[in-house]
């Protein structure tokens, strides 16, 4: 289902005709999900340090988290708008746990994560949701969402993505990692390396005695939305999926000259590549070469027309701004059509929905926060 905003009212309508995509549709519909996942996991392993046993050690709360932006963000009214239960003694009942999960050897192989939940006397298993932050932020930024969901009976989890938060050492750690990936080709800091961590996190979450392993959701904002999209593609243990302002068509953007806004969000690596390639300005060739180097397949076999449909028929809600230049809604025609068909074929058409909020660019809004909340309650509260 596609929901587009008109003024302040959301109107439901069927998808637009897809006349220009017919030549690709047969190929899209014939996706072999198992084969595609296997190819992606193989790619992840090609740039991994030696594997180590999965283990968890206790961590401590971070009192002064590192944000790689200035001025430092202080408070998010949007996240604070998330529905929460009115619990008078919330502070006393809220339980916070900080951990480090080892996902591979090396500094970046230590995954810091935060878990908030309500103290419970019974042993009933609860649903869990993994929350993923946007570029330059960290897990602590998500605390208002974690507290709201915890108050409603969820186990709420947030991680620091690669080169962010506790995995960063200064204000340019993420920028430097992207440039290093372009130069050396030995890491994949844009999306993929964090997806590896999320697969390992699922290993841990499914073993927790207080979590129902069949009810683990995942969501994120912007970069975090991409992490949620790819983690759900790669790992079916994420059973309910809500990427927020994160899903886009990378190949579509290149072919339709709509790549500039996404490139501008991590412009330093593209400028470095432009210089290395002897060009005076960033163009489509530079964009393709950077994506192929730092995230192989992102604009080809692992782009949204192939990986988003693989999430179906698991419940999937895509939340975007109708005017978002980084995630142009027109670039999602093919994947949304494919997901819609997959859900219909599985006799669960209501498991898929797209909301493109009118007049909104690349920003998360209270409407998106509330729609995500309703979606999780609908499919994880049983």
DSSP letter for each residue of 8-56:
TEEEEEPPPP-GGGHHHHHHHHT--HHHHHHHHHHHHHHTPPPP---EE
- The per-residue DSSP string of 235-275 comes to -TT--EEEEES----HHHHHHTT--HHHHHHTHHHHHHHHH
The two structure tokens encoding residue 233? 């593609």
With tokens 């988003």, the residue in question is: 308
- The answer to whether 45 touches 193, Cβ cutoff 8 Å, is no
59 secondary structure, DSSP code: -
Confidence of residue 9 (pLDDT cuts 50, 70, 90): very low
Q: Give the C-alpha separation, 240 to 279, whole Å.
A: 44
Neighbours of 91 (CB within 10 A): 8
What element of type H or E holds 4?
A: strand 2-6
Q: Give the C-alpha separation, 332 to 225, whole Å.
A: 15
Q: Give the C-alpha separation, 264 to 262, whole Å.
A: 5
Whether the link from the prior residue into 277 is cis, omega within 30° of 0, is no
> For all residues of the chain together, what is the average pLDDT?
92
Q: Give the C-alpha separation, 127 to 156, whole Å.
A: 9
The two structure tokens encoding residue 124? 């009933």
What is residue 122's predicted lDDT score, i.e. its pLDDT?
Answer: 83
Indicate the burial class of 275 (C-beta count within 10 angstroms; 0-12, 13-18, 19 or more). Answer: exposed
pLDDT tens figures, 204-215: 999 999 999 999
- The answer to whether 189 touches 178, Cβ cutoff 8 Å, is yes
What is residue 31's predicted lDDT score, i.e. its pLDDT?
Answer: 76
Confidence of residue 49 (pLDDT cuts 50, 70, 90): confident
Across the strands, what pairs with 365? none
Confidence of residue 121 (pLDDT cuts 50, 70, 90): confident
pLDDT tens figures, 60-101: 999 999 999 999 999 999 999 999 999 999 999 999 999 999
Q: Give the C-alpha separation, 178 to 278, whole Å.
A: 19
Confidence of residue 33 (pLDDT cuts 50, 70, 90): very high
160 secondary structure, DSSP code: P
Report the candidate in 122, 75, 156 with the shortest Cα–Cα distance to residue 376: 156
Confidence of residue 30 (pLDDT cuts 50, 70, 90): low
pLDDT tens figures, 217-264: 999 999 999 999 999 999 999 999 999 999 999 999 999 999 999 999
Q: Residues with Cβ < 8 Å from 205, sequence gap 6 or more?
A: 128, 130, 157, 211, 213, 216, 237
What is residue 367's predicted lDDT score, i.e. its pLDDT?
Answer: 98
Phi, psi of 170 (to 5 degrees): -155, -175
Helix 223-234 crosses helix 33-46 at what angle (to 10 degrees)? 120
pLDDT tens figures, 286-343: 999 999 999 999 999 999 999 999 999 999 999 999 999 999 999 999 999 999 999 9
């Amino acid at each position: 289902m596609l929901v587009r905003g008109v003024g302040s009212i959301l109107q439901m309508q069927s998808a637009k005709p897809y006349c220009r995509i017919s030549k690709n549709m047969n190929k899209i519909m014939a996706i072999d999900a198992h084969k595609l996942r296997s190819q992606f996991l193989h790619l992840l392993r090609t740039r991994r340090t030696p594997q180590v046993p999965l283990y968890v050690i206790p961590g401590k709360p971070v009192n002064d988290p590192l944000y790689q932006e200035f001025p430092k963000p202080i408070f998010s009214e949007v996240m604070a708008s998330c529905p929460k239960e009115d619990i008078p003694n919330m502070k006393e009942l809220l339980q916070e746990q900080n951990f480090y999960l080892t996902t591979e050897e090396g500094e970046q192989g230590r995954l810091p994560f935060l878990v908030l939940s309500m103290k419970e006397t019974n042993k009933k298993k609860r649903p869990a949701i993994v929350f993923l932050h946007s570029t330059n932020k960290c897990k602590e930024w998500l605390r208002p969402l974690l507290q709201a969901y915890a108050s409603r009976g969820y186990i709420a989890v947030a991680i620091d993505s690669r080169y962010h938060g506790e995995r960063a050492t200064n204000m340019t750690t993420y920028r430097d990692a992207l440039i290093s990936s372009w130069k050396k080709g030995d890491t994949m800091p844009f999306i993929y390396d964090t997806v590896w961590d999320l697969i390992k996190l699922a290993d841990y979450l499914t073993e927790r005695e207080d979590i129902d392993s069949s009810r683990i959701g995942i969501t994120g904002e912007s970069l975090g939305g991409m992490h949620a999209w790819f983690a759900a593609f790669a790992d079916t243990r994420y059973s309910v999926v809500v990427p927020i302002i994160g899903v886009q068509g990378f190949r579509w953007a290149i072919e339709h000259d709509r790549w500039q806004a996404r490139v501008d969000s991590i412009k330093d690596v593209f400028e470095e590549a432009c210089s290395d390639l002897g060009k005076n300005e960033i163009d489509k060739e530079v964009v393709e070469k950077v994506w192929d180097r730092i995230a192989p397949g992102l604009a080809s076999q692992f782009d949204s027309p192939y990986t988003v449909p693989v999430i179906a028929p698991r419940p999937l809600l895509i939340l975007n701004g109708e005017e978002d230049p980084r995630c142009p809604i027109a670039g999602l025609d093919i994947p949304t059509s494919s997901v819609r068909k997959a859900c219909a074929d599985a006799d669960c058409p209501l498991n898929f929905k797209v909301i493109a909020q009118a007049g909104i660019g690349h920003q998360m809004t209270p409407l998106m926060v509330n729609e995500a909340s309703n979606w999780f309650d609908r499919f994880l509260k049983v």
